[in-house]
Amino acid sequence: MAAHTNPATSAEDSHETPASDTAGQSKAEPERSSVFDELAERTFADIVDEVSRLRAENAAIREDKTRLEGDARDLKTKIDRVLEPELHLLRKEREELRGAVKYLIAQTGVRRLSIAEETTQITPDRRDPVDVGSLPHELLLHILRASRAPRHQHDPSVSQGPRNPWLAELRFRKGLILVCKKWSGPATEVLYEDIVLRRMDQALALANTLAATTSYQRGLADLVKSIRLDPCGVLPECADAARGAFRAILERCTALRAFEINVDVCEPSVVDEPQPGSADVFFPLWILDNGPDPGGLRRVFQERLSTPLRVLDLSIPLSGARTHQRLHLALSYCAAGLEVLKLGPSYQVAGEVYDGSMLPPLTLHGLQELYINVERSELCLLICHKWKMPTLRRLTTLDTGTIPHVLLEAHGSQLRYLHLYPKRKPMLHCWFLQDLTGIEQVPAHCPALEHLVLSANTETGPSPMSLNSRSLRYLDIWTTCERSTGGHQCRVWWSCSSNEFLGESTLPALRDVRYLWDSLHVDLPAICDPARELAADEQVVHFFPRAQYLQTKRHVISDRLVFCVSCGVPRSAVLDTKSIQMPSWVVESSAMVPVSIPSLYAGAWSSDSSSEEDEDSSDEDEDEYSEAGSQNVGREENPGSNADSGGSDYEPGDEESSDNDDDDDDDSDEGASVRESDTESAGE
């Protein structure tokens, strides 16, 4: 049956549906945008102008984009054309390097070659991995000695503090003994080759160590090649014990090649032993004593002088005629083998009559290098009249105010290197002016001279001098610049040419003239060798205990004065600057590229900025080394020679537990009991 519908209801529904649809559409209609409101308020002409302007900007942007794309393609083409050969070479080298690495890995047995690799390339018989400990003893010695820093880089003095780099190197050399059993012998030999005694108790400990008869300490005395006393003062109450210790050390070290004594000038240095309580600390010169020899120290020292001793450094005040005479007589025992002799300042004692006419002549046949103080030096007169040095090649005169013509006339015929080191001003890194009167006579006294070092004779800049030499090749000039004068005086010295100093000199063999700044080391001209070939813009940095030096073709300047040269302000005012560089006038005058100043301080800043925790950790590491040495190395046995036996059985555990304790001022530390191997050694 069909369904019946109500017509009235259908009509009402048909009328209600459009109303509901209209209401839904009105609700879904979006809100009117503000853009339409803005356009409604503008005229049609304004809208047309805006559209035209936007189209013009769009066209300009498209043109710029097209132009930039073309420039990029051109640039890429140029870069590819320039870098393609280099990239091809790098790819080729990379493939060769990969092949070499694979070959070395296969040679050492770390990785076996695959079947495809063995068939595609020819490889020799594969060897077993190299055992470092199996290297010959002589080769290990050469490698371990090469790991030591040059001697001028470190200062073992206690005044350097607990963060002295020399102490870090000492810990490193002690650690080499613990690498393995096969390294123990060579590492011990390198450790004991150069010994530094900085305190009196260390001399006592070293004497006990060398006198030991245990298997792991026997033969250590034969390893000692150099002994340095720096400064190692002696208390009057301990004079007898110290004399016995020094005698025992010199008596057992029969292979000694160098003996050096370095003390501060302000410390008393006497020959005769003072009475107890007369001085806090004194430095005895028992080796020069000509009176009674109760402990036999002078006799033992004379025996060492007669053996192959090559270097003798007595950089101590030599006061009085008696000291000069005793030195003259002592050197007569080493006339054959001595090669380097360094003497400290000498002073005349009030009321003492100096008469060296009764002394016999002294001939040092093998002496090649001499350091001597020429200021008010009666010892210099003794050397001029009583000494003969036929093979002297290098002469350095200290505290030189005037040219020592008498000394040069007596011993300058064979000189190749002459350094007239000026006198330093107290507490300053500059020096007094030199009187260069008679400089023209130096070539006559030294006809074979090749390297001359002297100081300028004016404070405002170089003054002309007359120097005629056919053999002179290198001339170094100490500048008179001071940091307190600011940058103006530094600019004068930096920009001056060699012609301003040489004047009318005739030097046909001259190659380079250098200006030296701010000396902290007397051997700076020799360390910064002028014979080293440097380009006009090449720079070499040399490290010293308290400064770093920059060597160029024309200058050797320290970091203390780089700031004065670059910007004329004190160093402390710009220490935190990150990118200070030489100004344009410095670069143009010296023909060198700008120098980045912070690079010179990288090492110093890194060490100074280390925290106290790092220092404590280094002490703990050293204690671990000592414990490991006592547990491991002390059990080794080596039935070989004395040198090898002493080396392989050496116990670092007998050393001091912490080298940083050497620099503490604690009285309890100084009064502590001395251990058997309380010895410090330093690398050459």
* Sequence letter at residue 191: L
How much is the mean pLDDT over the chain? 72
| Beta bridge pairs of residue 229 | 197, 261
Q: Name residue, tokens 């006559």.
A: 444
Range 328-363 burial, b when 16+ CB lie within 10 A, else e: bebbbbbbebbbbbbbbbbbbeeeeeeebeeeeebe
pLDDT, tens digit, 9 for 90 and up, residues 527-552? 999 998 888 888 888 888 878 888 88
Q: Half-sphere exposure of residue 599, counting CA atoms within 13 Å on the CB side?
A: 11
Q: What's the whole-number mean pLDDT along residues 424-446?
A: 80
What integer pLDDT is reported at residue 293 of this predicted model?
A: 60
Q: Where do the H-state alpha helices sit in 42-127?
A: 44-108, 115-120
Any residues with CB less than 8 A from the CB of 251 and at least 6 apart, and which? 300, 303
Q: Is the pLDDT of residue 659 over 50?
A: no
Q: Give the DSSP per-residue string, 440-459.
A: GGHHHH-TT--EEEEE-S-S
Q: 321 near 307, Cβ under 8 Å?
A: no
Nearest to 534 by CA among 474, 596, 579, 478: 474
Q: Report the relative pairing of strands 283-284 and 311-315 from DSSP bridges.
A: unpaired
pLDDT, tens digit, 9 for 90 and up, residues 237-264? 777 888 888 888 888 888 889 998 876 5
Tokens found for residue 250: 């010199």
DSSP 424: B
Q: What's the whole-number mean pLDDT along residues 147-153?
A: 89
Choice between 133 and 187, residue whose per-residue pLDDT is larger: 187
Q: Is the pLDDT of residue 614 over 70?
A: no
What integer pLDDT is reported at residue 85 of this predicted model?
A: 84
Residue 556 phi/psi, 5° resolution? -130, 105
What integer pLDDT is reported at residue 58 of this predicted model?
A: 94
Choice between 211 and 292, residue whose per-residue pLDDT is larger: 211
What integer pLDDT is reported at residue 609 of this predicted model?
A: 38
What integer pLDDT is reported at residue 234 of this predicted model?
A: 77
pLDDT, tens digit, 9 for 90 and up, residues 384-432? 888 999 999 999 998 888 889 999 999 999 999 999 998 877 666 667 7
Q: What's the whole-number mean pLDDT along residues 644-660?
A: 37
Q: What's the whole-number mean pLDDT along residues 508-536?
A: 86
Please give the angle made by the CA atoms of 490, 496 and 498, to the nearest 5 degrees.
135
pTM: 0.65
